[in-house]
Amino acid sequence: MPDSFTATGQQLHRQLGQILAAPVLSAEDDPLELVRAAHGVQDRAEALMAAAVQQARQAGRTWQEIGEVLGVSRQAVFQRYGKPIDPRTGEVMNTTPLPGADELARTVIDDLAHTRWADVSARFDATMRERLTEEGLAEAWAHIVGMAGAYEGHGDTDSVRAGDFTTTNTPLTFEAGDFVARITFRDDRTLAGLYILDPDVAAGGKP
């Protein structure tokens, strides 16, 4: 791990140095090249962070200590960098969120905001379909609007995998209040859970 950490750090240092040493973009330069280069640095930085966390764990540091350094909970840092073992198989579990889960979540939110109840329920898995009708969905959304007014928009979506599910958390803004849409997806992209939560409640139980 130390060799991997050092190599990743050296690659990041070289890549960042190349960007900082580059001349200021002129009118005929493609600004997307700078975006592309910066994206590469971001990827390297994340790889360096993952290697640093694993090195800290191997040195005996706790998830609590690492989380305090990063300003997040021990659960949040574990879910991002940990390697849980599946008790059913004894193998390392997949912790990568469902690809495109953030776009899926925003699509569901957009359907809710535009009262497309049938489009939302069409994504339900069998259990959700049994428990929540289109009428119930409409009633729940109307309840939120009754408390906080018209829906105005959403913030960035966070996605995290827990076991066989990917859960997304998206801040929602209404004219007189804020909420969080917590939506859970199966790997087949069906919807296994849908909650509109108070931000404090969402922060306390965020996966």
Residue 13, pLDDT > 80, answer: no
Strand partners, 192: none
Type and span of the H or E element at 133: none
Average pLDDT value over all residues in the chain? 85
Q: Which range among 60-69, 139-148, 157-166 shows the weakest confidence by mean pLDDT?
A: 157-166
Return the CATH number of 101-204, one of 3.40.190.10, 3.10.580.10, 3.40.1710.10, 3.10.450.590. 3.10.450.590
Q: Which range among 45-59, 148-162, 176-190 shows the weakest confidence by mean pLDDT?
A: 45-59
Residue 22, pLDDT > 60, answer: no
CA dist., res. 135 & res. 121, Å (int): 10
Is residue 134 within 8 Å of 122, Cβ to Cβ?
Answer: no
CA dist., res. 163 & res. 90, Å (int): 13
Give me the pLDDT at residue 15, please.
56
Residue 135, pLDDT > 50, answer: yes
Give me the pLDDT at residue 8, please.
55
153-171: per-residue pLDDT in tens? 999 999 988 888 999 999 9
Residue 206, pLDDT > 50, answer: no
Instruction: Report domain extents, the chain.
Output: 2-81, 101-204
95-124: per-residue pLDDT in tens? 889 999 999 999 999 999 999 999 999 999
Give me the pLDDT at residue 35, please.
79
Give me the pLDDT at residue 30, please.
72
